[in-house]
Amino acid sequence: MIYSRTGKIDEDFYVLGHPAVPIYLMDGLQPIIFDAGFTILGEHYISEIEKILGSRSPAYCCITHVHFDHCGSIAALKRRYPRMLIAASEKAVEILKRPNAVDLIRHLNASAEPLVKQLGISYTSEARFEPFFIDHRVKEGDRLEISSDCHVEVFETPGHTWDCLSYRISKRNILLSSEAAGQPDKTGYVVTDCLADFNHYLASLLRFKTLEADLLCPGHIYVYKGRDVTDYLAKAEIACFDFHKTVLQIAAEENGDFDCIKQRIKRFEYDPNPGPKQPEPAYLLNLEARIRAILNTGRNTLNGYDHQA
């Protein structure tokens, strides 16, 4: 089954906000939020959380990575829930110490306002991104307790970004991977989102297959359940090799002209996508990083797999 909606998806597990820019909530003795979407949707997320939790507070907000569309509303959430602990990786802590990184998060959140209007979300705010403090640094193998019979496992899954974490909810076997598992769009295309490193991205993607999750949340638009988890991850793996091959081929045809490479990829990847999709400034920044990650890999054999396969 494939979901593209908000609301209850599994027992005690909810997608909140909007499928294109969601946050996730696992209810329990110690409820946990995953990610924090856009800044201007902070009040909208809070309203959705309150419908489920009432006056109760989440115990944690677990951040997969500190991209603008995954940490934008942390400040608003923290004001509403001051006892809630913000959990993320050590690398995320280091990123947030850099003024240029914070400025970019703020700029990209501002650029997302037209997209929010297109999505038809009226419950927005005038807020601007504010830096935040990470209360709880988590790493591979850590566990966060939801209740006596349910916990969250932490996995380090770099490749999309260096700070990228994925989380598995044990009792429900729910895997929250964000874009570490690629990003599907409405056309069926899967974006190979290897911003930091292609080989690490591929290794993380292959690792997800071994976890055999019952529910997969790639971060935007869709949630996959049952057999569709396996089918999606297989498709994402094929897309990974195909994109690697395509970038190298276009780079050779364009004699390494980076602007030409970007525009050719944008024409088949971004332009035909009817949306919802990233704001163009964010897409172009990410595309440049993805291309560079693949050009840095070159034509070598990748993680024991031939990229021609």
What ranges do the domains of the chain cover?
Answer: 2-297
pLDDT score at 307: 43
pLDDT above 90 coverage of the chain, percent: 86
Say whether 25 sits in a helix, a strand or coil. strand
- The backbone torsions φ and ψ at residue 281, rounded to the nearest 5 degrees and listed phi first, read -60, -40
pLDDT score at 113: 87
pLDDT score at 297: 82
- What digits encode the pLDDT tens for the residues 23-42? 999 999 999 999 999 999 99
Specify the range with the lowest mean pLDDT, choosing from 21-25, 130-134, 303-307.
303-307
* pTM value > 0.85: yes
Question: Where would I find the beta strands (DSSP E) of the chain?
Answer: 2-3, 7-10, 13-16, 23-26, 32-34, 60-62, 85-88, 136-137, 143-147, 150-156, 165-169, 174-176, 183-184, 190-191, 215-217, 223-225
pLDDT score at 305: 52
Smallest CA-to-CA distance from 204 within 163, 174, 166, 245 is with 166
- What digits encode the pLDDT tens for the residues 215-261? 999 989 999 999 999 999 999 999 999 999 999 999 999 998 999 99
Options 3.20.20.150, 3.60.15.10, 3.40.1080.10, 3.30.2290.10; CATH for 2-297 is: 3.60.15.10
Q: How would residue 298 be classed by pLDDT, with cut points 50, 70 and 90?
A: low
Quote the tokens at residue 26. 């696992």
pLDDT at 309 over 60: no
pLDDT at 193 over 70: yes
Say whether 223 sits in a helix, a strand or coil. strand
